[in-house]
Structures are given as structure tokens and as C-alpha cells.
Amino acid sequence: MSSHDQQPVGVLQAFVPALDAVTVRQVAPPEPAPDEVVVRMLLTGICGSDTHAIAGHHPLLKPPYVPGHEAIGLVETCGTQVSGLQTGQRVVLKPNVVCGHCVNCLAGRSNACVELAWIGCDPSGQHPGAMADLFLAPARNLYPVPEGISDHQAALVECLATPVHAVRIAGDLTDATVVILGGGTIGVLTLLAARKAGARAVVITDLDPVKRERAVRLGAAAGLDAADPALPAQVTEALGGRADVLFDCVAAEGSARQWTALVRRAATVVLVGVPARDYVVPTVQLQDWELRLQGSASYTEADFETALSLGGEIPAEEIVTDVLDLTEAASAFSRAIAPGVGKVLVSARS
């Protein structure tokens, strides 16, 4: 074939075609609508939602889909109606796409938008994710990255927005004692958000000793073995009493059974993790102890802006353990579920 006969080269895009499968395929370059922007990906995180979906354990996200909802990149091309963004500018993606006019959006609760859609978590194919050479997003979903925030920190802003939201809706944490179930990325960022909100002491529990040790380095009063029968006594000792607030970042029946052994009466329990299925919770104590059980789903624009303002404080060097090239997306997903591994990022291909 002569050079005159060659077809335009497409862009590479990670793709999850089925359970336990990740491929990299070539697709046509995206074209922006008037209010959209094409972004050249720099880094994209692999979320627990992604690994759960691929394993068939996510209740809402099923293959096939194009992953990538934790992303930073450079503005490549702007639609004709886009203003305020410049070619080459660093931007971070807010992946939840909202309508802006439903009852919840108008009430400042856009995370509960009745038409909510997700870039990078969409089996319909209408919102392919950012794990690609180039990705597409509405301009309103892109936030300029301030100077002083590294690329690795910026790639974790979306992760931080979820704990920022959970901590905000938990109520006033000034001088509160807190226990966090789960020491993964969301758990340690909940630690950061809780401490910024004024929590006096925070304990993190996890099965992985590596994550427990990291939690202590990042300011937890203790990192405790979630499977230790003595856990309730250890939490009480570390906090000086039962917890005022519990954030469940595990969201499994086993973690729900621990709630009432760790919190005081009239405490608040915030369900942050995504349960794989329905399960039994301690409804007798929920009523008799007048516990507040609060669901927490993603974040609003205000939460995202708060997370971005804290971006320079994200301990990326403690959280990010692996960075793999886009061409190695399948290996990156395998690495993300390995024991002791933190956040895995996929980078632009070299």
C-alpha cells in the first residue's frame, strides 16, 4: 500500500468487552459537539468500581464499556461554543454528567440527578471513558488544574471528591472521633477529608497490614486488623471511647456486622463503598440506638471544587504504587487487584 492509500490513524482506547477481559482497540478520533472538548489523556486511574465490574461484582456497572473516570489531560480541541479553556491547558475530569434542571440538581444535589450518567461507567457507549489517547467530555465537566498540583495528585482529585462529599453530609466533625472501615484509596482519602473537617482522632481498619501501616503514616491514630476479634476494644482504646461517626468504605455484610460494636448510641454511619448486593444490617440497634444511617453517592460540583482545592495535599506518593502505559491496560487491571497494591494509574502511551 502506498502512503497515498493509507487510512488516517485512529486513537488507542482501552475497552472492557466482557467479564474478566480488558483489551486495547483502535477507534476513530472523537469529534467535539459545540459544548464539548477533546482532551489528550495524561493519566487515568483504575477505580475499585472498575475492578469490581470486570469481576461481575458491581451492582450497576456491567461490561461492555470504555473505562476511565479518574483522569487528567491536556485540552486538545474545543467545540465552537466552548470558552474559558485553552489548547494545552491541564484539566481534570468530573465524570458524572448531570442535567442541571431536575429537582435534585436545582436543590444542589446534582449527585442524585434523575438523569445522571457517567463518563467511563457507561455500558450504553454514549459516554466512553478517558482511558484512551483522546477522550471527550462536556466543557462544564472539565476543571483547570491549578499550579502546585502534580499530575499524580490531579489524577486523584476525583477519588478525593467522594470522601469530601461523605464527610460533608456526615455532619459537623469538629472534635469528633471517627472509624473508617477499609484502608484503600477511598479509605485513606476519607482520613484526609475527616481530619480537614476537624475530626479529633481517626482509626482505620483493614485486612492488609500494608494499608494499615500506611494509614498510620498518613495520620490515623491506629491502623487495626479488621479481622481481629479484639477490634472493638482496640478501637475504643485508640479513640478514648466508641466512635461518633463511622465511614464504611467496604460495604459488605461483614463490615455491617461491625458497626454497632464500634460506634456509640446516636452515632452516624455513612455507607461510602458500593455494595455488591443487598444484605442484612443491624436494624434493631439502628432503631433502638437511634443511629443515623446515611448513604453517600459520589459528589456535587461544590464537593469536586473542594477536592480540587485540596489537591496539593493529596499524598500521591503514598497512594500511587504503579503507572503503566495505555498499551498495557490489561496488565494494569491485573496489577490493580494484586495484594498490597495501591492506586494504579494508566499513562499516555510513550
Whole-number Å distance between alpha carbons of 74 and 38: 9
Own/partner pairs, 325-331, CB within 8 angstroms, 24+ separation = 325/349, 325/350, 326/12, 326/14, 326/24, 326/41, 326/131, 326/132, 326/133, 327/12, 327/24, 329/14, 329/22, 329/23, 329/24, 329/131, 330/22, 330/23, 330/24
pLDDT in tens, 60-118: 888 899 999 999 999 999 999 999 999 999 999 999 999 999 999 999 999 999 999 99
300 pLDDT exceeds 60? yes
The secondary structure of 187-200 as a DSSP string is HHHHHHHHHHTT-S
- For the cut 80, the answer to whether the pLDDT of residue 273 exceeds it is yes
Is cis: bond before 64, omega within 30 of 0?
yes
H or E stretch covering 312 = none
Angle of helix 329-336 relative to helix 48-55, nearest 10 degrees?
Answer: 100
β partners of residue 118? 96
Give the lowest-confidence range in 9-13, 118-122, 198-202, 268-272: 9-13
Q: Is 130 helix (H, G, I), strand (E, B) or coil?
A: coil
pLDDT at 7: 41
At residue 185, the pLDDT reads: 95
Is residue 5 over pLDDT 50? no
**pLDDT at res. 324:** 96
Which phi and psi (to 5°) does residue 298 adopt?
50, -120
- Residues 6 or more apart whose CB falls under 8 angstroms from that of 242 comprise 177, 235, 236, 262, 263, 264, 267
What confidence score (pLDDT) does residue 52 get? 87
Cβ neighbourhood burial of 307 (10 Å; 0-12, 13-18, 19+): buried
Sign (positive/negative) of CA torsion 96, 101, 107, 112?
negative
> What integer pLDDT is reported at residue 9 of this predicted model?
64
Phi, psi for residue 14 in degrees, rounded to 5: -70, 150
Computed over every residue of the chain, the mean pLDDT equals: 94
Give the span between the Cα atoms of 210 and 42, in whole angstroms.
Answer: 28
Top-ranked range on mean pLDDT: pick from 2-16, 57-71, 299-313? 299-313
The strand pair at 11-15 and 90-93 is best described as unpaired
* Residue 172 confidence (pLDDT): 97
* Res 308 pLDDT > 60: yes
Residue 196 has pLDDT above 70, yes or no: yes
**Predicted confidence (pLDDT) at residue 1 exceeds the cutoff of 60:** no
CA distance 136 to 347: 17
Residue 117 sits at the vertex; the CA angle it makes with 183 and 194, to the nearest 5 degrees, is: 30
Summarised one tens digit per residue, pLDDT across range 149-173 is 999 999 999 999 999 999 999 999 9
Q: In DSSP terms, which residues pair with 322 in a beta bridge? A: 344
Mean pLDDT, rounded, for 273-280: 92
Closest listed residue to residue 152, CA positions, set 12, 350, 349, 346: 346
6 pLDDT exceeds 90?
A: no
Task: Give the three-class secondary structure for 120.
Answer: coil
CA–CA distance, 70 with 344 (Å, rounded to integer): 11
What does the block give as the cell for 10? 485512529
Averaged over 11-15, what is the pLDDT? 95
For the chain, strand residue ranges (E) read 11-15, 23-27, 36-45, 70-78, 90-93, 96-97, 117-118, 134-138, 142-144, 177-181, 201-206, 222-225, 243-248, 263-271, 292-295, 320-325, 343-347
What is residue 2's predicted lDDT score, i.e. its pLDDT? Answer: 31
